[in-house]
Structure 1
Amino acid sequence: MNRRTWRLPALTGLLALLTSGLTAVPTAQAALTAPTAFTHPGVLVSRAQLDLVRAKVQAGAQPWKAAYDQMHASKYASLSRTPKPRAVVECGSYSNPNYGCTDEREDALAAYTLALEWYVTRDSRYAAKAIQIMDAWSATITDHTNSNGPLQTAWSASSWPRAAEIIRYTYTGWPSDKVNRFGTMLRNVYLPKVVNGSNSNGNWELSMTEATIGIAVFLDDRTVYDKAVTKFRGRVPAYIYLASDGALPRTAPGSGLDTRAEIVNYWQGQSTFVDGLTQETCRDFTHTGYGLSAISHVAETSRIQGQDLYPEVADRLRHALGLQATYELGAAVPSWLCGGALHKGLGPVTEVGFNALHHRLGYGMDNTQRLTEQQRPAGANNLFTAWETLTHADNPN
């Protein structure tokens, strides 16, 4: 986009709307390598965060109590759940065919849900059920196949380490041989499918990066962790545009995109770029939400591990959340944006990023705040995002 475009009244008004209440906060570069020792539990949620959640729920404080009640009433918290592991999970485009795809994702989400239930209630039945699900899959699965196999792997492998971290480090009843088998499953079945990323739409590689960093923490693998962070640092600037990038969005390392026409095509035909536009905004908000959720999750895990990536992605993430929230809340869509039509449905994905950027780093984010509070309690998207009002609403830890 040339400089004259920025002086168009429509864009000027939009930028004023999107940046209303945004406070500039200095950023800092995070450490370049993994921590010497990993923090456990430390995938998306830390012990300090979990302790705050438990105290708030027990006190009946809101919004945590309502969020817990929502989780507790969900199918994922059921103590009668029977895991449905498969040796080979086959997932085609949009899960067609669907041979174990839904079962795997939902069992992984259930394991995480049950782990949260265990921590909040200290009822060992929930820990035992989480272990039963994780053991069933680690004893069975060998591969993911078909076109959506890598993405399916990423979604499931984003949830498994969260569950396993909580159970392994806060409950004493998971036998070490089963813990080791679970780790072997993550390393041999899941990691090879996600560690090298993807040149598909950005939500693919961001989800794969989230899965990779979670696996790295569970396995205490600094090499894999560093590889995930490198991938993250290359992909986030190629997923969310800032005016400082220049006339065109950045491209991810290895993408092969080197002409304006190729980049515009990759950005769903959008040729006017503004702060916070994502590579998938003009595709739909649902897939955009997957990407923004994964960015927040990776940054959150890195912060727990002492290598805080939030400051270096803060401007991109706050603008992306703000732009998407503006239209999700009902603002009129200008003709220059996605041809004047947006496919909304962002999903329950704003809580983690909003908490980090607004409550911890001090950014004003009026539209994101409105949307986040309007959607509380945030539930599960049945893929890899779940119960984030419970775990991250107003959580300073």
Structure 2
Amino acid sequence: MSDSKERFLPKRRRFCASALGVAALGPLSLTACGGGADRAASPERTSASEAKQSAAIAGATSRFVHPGLLHTAADFERMRIKVAQGAEPWASGWRALLASGRSQLGVMPSPLQTVIRGGDGENFRQMYTDIARAYQLALRWKVSGDKAYADQALAFLNAWSSTMTTLTGNGDRFLAAGIYGYQWANAAEIMRTYSGWAAPDLARFQTMMLTLFYPLNHEFLATHNGSHVTHHWANWDLCSLASMLAIGVLCERADIYDEAMVYYKAGPGNGASSQAVYYLHPGHLGQWQESARDQGHSTLGIGLAGVFCEMAWNQGDDMYGYDNNRFLAGAEYVAKSNLKDAAGAFYNVPFATYRNLRNDVPVFASGGQGHRRPVWELVHHHYVNRKGLAAPYCALQTQQIGPEGDAGNGDQLGFGTLTFSRDPVKPGAAPSGLNAIGSGGQIVLSWWGSAGAASYTVKRASVRGGPYTTIQSGIIDLLSYTDSDLATGVYYYVVAAQGPAGESAASGEATGYAGVHPHTRLSLNQTTGTTATDSSGNGRNASLVNGPAWVAGRNGARALAFDGVDDYLSLPQDALADLSDFTIGAWVYWNGGRNWARIFDFGSGSMHYMMLSPCGADGLPRFAVTTNHGVGEQAVAGTVALPAGQWVHVALTLAGSTGTLYVNGAAAGSNPDIRHAPFRLGSTGRNWIGRSQYAGDPYFHGQIADFCIYRGALDASGVAALMHGQLGNAGAGEPQSATGAQQVSTYCAR
């Protein structure tokens, strides 16, 4: 893998998931390795002898499990037992390791003082070859018990830690620091349980990792080598994250470990979870960010994200399952797009246009399609045989590759057939992760399948909890179903799996909405208090921050006044989490002022947001939504200026992919290509009225009243009725079935 010259081509723990900028990464610290707080037990059994060795090296106060990167003591015990039994596929994986030229005794280390990747004098291949030897020798020792392999592995670790002083090159030096950083740390983590590794030698190796590799990992994530954060593709971030996580464990540095974890959840770069899996298609099929680039790098990204998730899992943190198994969504997408169907053609996968700083990529990048990379055993065995989920395309990848080696290119440690294989899970688990997204009179269901299931059955009810009626059975491939031609209403769904033992238990229930339904109503008609009450019946009360004032408003009613300095209104976490088509309406009295104030701005920072400004750069109102740092905003540009110094009704609707802006009941701008519905923003903790996600933008100066959000898009007559208070009264929380003035209830009426 090379990005030479940086070319740019088409709850288990306490982490904060707020937006993360460069400053949030904090100062670089290279203090000595040490202990930390008590650490959770490994999720799999640890042998007593290895645990005792780990405690002797790391100290009784260790926060971390050792060995606890890609492999735990329980993993090695499983490998030893299975190989001794001649069980498959472990026996084949063991034979692949024995056949590797890099796992043999008798080869001496070739350490370098200065390692160069990128530019003149490249010599990094010498390092990754010795890393592979150290790792493979360590595996042979752990499985066979032959200390000759342990001693030979130590020879490589000690030679490099006593010789290497510099890691340099052009921008590719960051790739070297990331890929080879996590690989070195894994070889060393295996060997730390060997009584023959002297404490000073382990400490010297840890120092090498902290002074030569971690600083480059940190620098890259903090600066992206001086370029825009979208300039680099996902694998750049992911290799740095894998290295930091591994170094944190190896060196007992909880701060480094946590730095990587926080970034993976909410970092600004393309390696963060929501950026790497760029777009979720129906059936939880997650478009990988580098699928807009080529398939060699896409499969590399799966390998790097996989090792990050596995190392975190072995320390008690479930990044595999983070955000409804988002990594599995991306892995299945990449696996499928690099496989051929029965007719010999590559599977088609859906693709949403990807935009970065320099490119719009409208179609799937087929370069290198069919790339076979030994990274799939890890992914398959976690989701299928640890968790009982279906991962059919990852499984097909493992079958076509056969026993994994290392591919010889330094991009991955490999040998996953030996190290990650697990016995099959008992079939029959219920499907999971069911969600229901309503748009245009239909509801799209997506779920996670069950290991061993042959097909799936979808059931629907008109009341919560059933009784349910089967509406579709025999679903085999895509884990999705679209319920169409629905009357306006609320529907409840479950999915069951069909397998060898019959029908499974039902999944958890998902709620779907067809038509227009009240979501949030903040009338802002109060006289006192620091909470704006949601009168829709849905409990989304908002908090007044920094003292916006209750004042006399429009037509003798009340309103909330914003001073334009620092006050705003904050809605609850994930306020728009399951919202697709929508209508947002409000009465606004804008005092004018600088461009780019916000009527509303919902998001998680400057990379994921949906906002409406009364005045953009052109002096006209603007709605915009993005999941990529404002690059390629999908926007509705206003066609008339928003009057200042008077009450104006503004509304924004999204119907399918068409966004429409209304000013005083008349359409004032539209765009038929708005593909990022609110639910695609992911988790949002900054749902604000009167404040921008960008710290440099002005606060709103003026008054706002009757701020309403609806599921579903009102048509033009419905928006006019909303403005004039001519809506029918159906009672709080009840859906409406008519159009025009009868589409919604009186939630926004005076």
Q: TM-score range by the shorter chain?
A: 0.7 to 0.9
Q: Which residue of 2 aligns with 1:164?
A: 188
Q: Does 1:100 align with 2:106?
A: no
Corresponding position of 1:379: 405
Q: CA deviation at 1:281?
A: 1.1
Distance 2:365 2:116 in 1: 37
What is residue 189 of structure 1 aligned with on the other side?
Answer: 212
Corresponding position: 1:277 with 2:273: no
Partner of 1:301: 311
Displacement after TM superposition at 1:102 (Å)? 0.6
Tell me the C-alpha RMSD between the 2 structures.
2.3
2:377 maps to amino acid:
E
2: CA distance, partners of 1:243 / 1:214: 29
SS at match of 1:241: strand
Correspondence for 1:236: 273
- Partner Cα distance (2:212, 2:381) in 1: 33
Q: Which of 373, 390, 396 matches 2:418? A: 390
Give the match for residue 329 of structure 1. 339
- Given that 1:195 and 1:228 are in contact with CA atoms closer than 8 Å, whether structure 2 keeps it comes out as no
Letter in 1 for 2:291: T
Change (3 A) 1:55 1:244: same
Distance verdict in 2 for CA 1:140–1:313, change over 3 Å:
farther
Give the aligned partner of residue 213 of structure 1.
245
Counterpart among 162, 177, 202 of residue 153 in structure 1: 177
Asked if 1:179 corresponds to 2:179, the answer is no
- Look up the equivalent residue of 1:350 and give its one-letter code: W
SS of aligned partner of 1:42: coil
Aligned 8 A contact 2:320 2:326 in 1: no
Distance in 2, matches of 1:371 and 1:156, equals 25
- The equivalences for 1:251-270 within 5 A come to none
Alignment partner, residue 55 of structure 1: 81
Equivalent AA in structure 1 for residue 12 of structure 2:
A
1:90 is aligned to 2:109: no
More strand by share: 2
The one-letter code of the counterpart of 2:156 is: I
Partner of 2:377: 351
Deviation of 1:316 after TM superposition, in Å, equals 2.1
* 1:30 Cα deviation after fit: 3.1
- Name the SS of the counterpart of 2:139 in structure 1: helix
Residue 55 of structure 2 corresponds to residue 32 of structure 1: no
Q: Write the distance in 1 (CA, Å) between the matches of 2:279 and 2:206.
A: 39
Counterpart Cα distance in 2 of 1:114 and 1:80: 11
Structure 1 stretch 193-202 or stretch 61-70: which is displaced more?
193-202
More contact order relative to length (CA 8 Å, sep ≥ 6): 1
Q: 1:333 to 1:340 in 2, by over 3 A?
A: farther
Provide the C-alpha distance between the structure 2 equivalents of 1:195 and 1:32, rounded to a whole number of angstroms: 21
Give the Cα separation in 2 of the matches to 1:139 and 1:395: 41
Q: 1:378 to 1:338 in 2, by over 3 A?
A: farther
- May I ask how many residue pairs the two structures share in their alignment? 337
Q: 5+ unaligned residues in a row in structure 2: which ranges? A: 1-10, 16-36, 40-62, 267-271, 341-345, 352-361, 426-750
- Does the 8 Å CA contact 2:280/2:329 hold for their aligned counterparts? no
Instruction: Point out the more displaced range, 34-43 or 150-159.
Output: 34-43
Give me the whole-angstrom Cα distance separating, in 2, the residues matched to 1:340 and 1:301.
30
Distance 1:361 1:44, change over 3 A: same
What are the superposed Cα offsets for residues 101-158 of structure 1, whole Å, 9 maximum, x if unpaired?
A: 1111111121111110000111111101110001111011112112211101111111
2:418 is paired with a residue of what secondary structure?
Answer: helix
Q: Distance in 2 between matches of 1:341 and 1:138?
A: 41
**Alpha-carbon contact 2:92-2:403 (below 8 Å) kept:** yes
Q: CA deviation at 1:340?
A: 7.2
Match of 1:202 among 220, 234, 238: 234
Contact 1:275/1:319, CA 8 A, preserved across alignment:
yes
Contact 2:13/2:317 (8 A) holds in 1: yes
Secondary structure of 1:243's counterpart equals strand
Secondary structure (helix, strand or coil) at the match of 2:402 reads coil
Q: How far apart, CA to CA, are the structure 2 residues paired with 1:91 and 1:189? A: 14
Shift of 1:175: 1.2
Does the aligned pair in 2 maintain the 1:293–1:350 contact within 8 Å?
yes
Larger gyration radius, structure 1 or structure 2: 2
The aligned counterpart of 2:388 is 362
Q: Distance in 2 between matches of 1:35 and 1:311?
A: 23
SS state of the match for residue 69, structure 1? helix
Are the structure 2 counterparts of residues 340 and 286 from structure 1 closer, same or farther at C-alpha, using a change threshold of 3 Å? closer
Write the deviation string for residues 360-395 of structure 1: whole angstroms up to 9, x where unpaired. 222112222112122121111332331111110126
CA spacing shift, 1:388–1:313, aligned 2, 3 Å: farther
CA contact (8 A) 1:352 1:388 kept: yes
1:301 Cα deviation from its structure 2 partner: 1.1
TM-score for the superposition, normalised by structure 2: 0.43
Aligned pair partner of 1:72 in 86, 98, 108:
98
Q: Is the 8 A contact 1:333 1:341 kept in 2?
A: no
Native 8 Å contact 1:30 1:308 kept in 2: yes
Contact (CA 8 Å) 2:336, 2:347: kept in 1 or not? Answer: no
| 1:144 equivalent in alignment to 2:167 | yes
Deviation readout 1:251-301 (Å, 9 max, x if unpaired): xxxxxxxxxxxxxxxxxxxxxxx9321111132222112211121111111
Deviates more, 1:325-334 or 1:302-311: 325-334
Correspondent of 1:225 among 234, 257, 261: 257
Find the aligned partners of 1:110 and 1:347 in 2 and give their Cα distance: 19
In the alignment, the residues of structure 1 paired with residue 423 and residue 241 of structure 2 have an alpha-carbon distance, to the nearest angstrom, of 24
Q: Secondary structure at the match of 1:144?
A: strand
**Secondary structure of the corresponding residue to residue 281 of structure 1:** helix
Q: Compared with structure 1, are the counterparts of its residues 298 and 341 closer, same or farther at alpha carbon in structure 2 (3 Å cutoff)?
A: closer
Question: What's the secondary structure of 2:285's corresponding residue?
Answer: coil
One-letter identity of the residue aligned with 2:65: T
